[in-house]
Amino acid sequence: MLGERMNWINRYVDEPLLQGAAMLLRRWHVLTGQRPDTLEPVWNLISATFLMIATLFFMQGELLLLCQGALLALALPSAWQLLKRGEGGPYGVSDYKALRASAIGKRENEWALRMAVVVGSALLPFAHASDDSVTASFMLGASLWFALIAPLRFYLGAAEPPAPHEGDRFTRAALGSLS
């Protein structure tokens, strides 16, 4: 009975999310020509910017400064990762093989963790009741941050990366796939 439930969860929840993440990575690589591993930090920065703008509408004073500072602190590692990534070369076969090996390992070893993150990100935004408005606002923001970032991070890490030539305009032209 337990095996049937796990197969159902794997088939109807985990696999579609993995396939969606792989499609998202491929689409990102084809449309932008960027390395697939730059999607996560870009999404983190977009999410932080969205939440920073939202705090401007709903908060004021010290609470606004606290939330803006926390979001800025959460966005700095992603910005640093993108700046550091700019020093590297283009996305090649060796990068593809490394990302693919990492994704296979994560797919096999982190199944339960991915499911816990999906359930947690769905439930956490509703668990912020507090008498203190500062605490409640901070917990709501942290819950939203987690819901926006964590599932994408785990599923992008476990998804099949696109082949290196899929987004490279020069390679596609050399292969004759551009008109």
pLDDT at 174: 47
Q: Mind listing the pLDDT tens digit of every residue in the chain (179 residues)?
A: 767 878 888 889 999 999 999 999 999 999 988 889 999 999 999 999 999 999 999 888 888 998 899 999 999 999 999 998 766 678 889 999 999 999 999 998 998 899 999 999 888 878 767 788 777 887 888 888 999 999 999 999 999 999 987 655 554 444 444 43
How far is the C-alpha of 113 from the C-alpha of 121, rounded, in Å? 12
Picking from 140, 154, 43, 174, the residue whose alpha carbon sits closest to that of residue 109 is 154
How far is the C-alpha of 164 from the C-alpha of 171, rounded, in Å? 9
Q: Indicate the pTM of the whole model.
A: 0.84
- Enter the tokens of residue 120: 């947690």
pLDDT 10s digits, 23-36: 999 999 999 888 89
Q: What share of residues in the chain are helix, strand, coil (percent, to 5)? A: 85, 0, 15
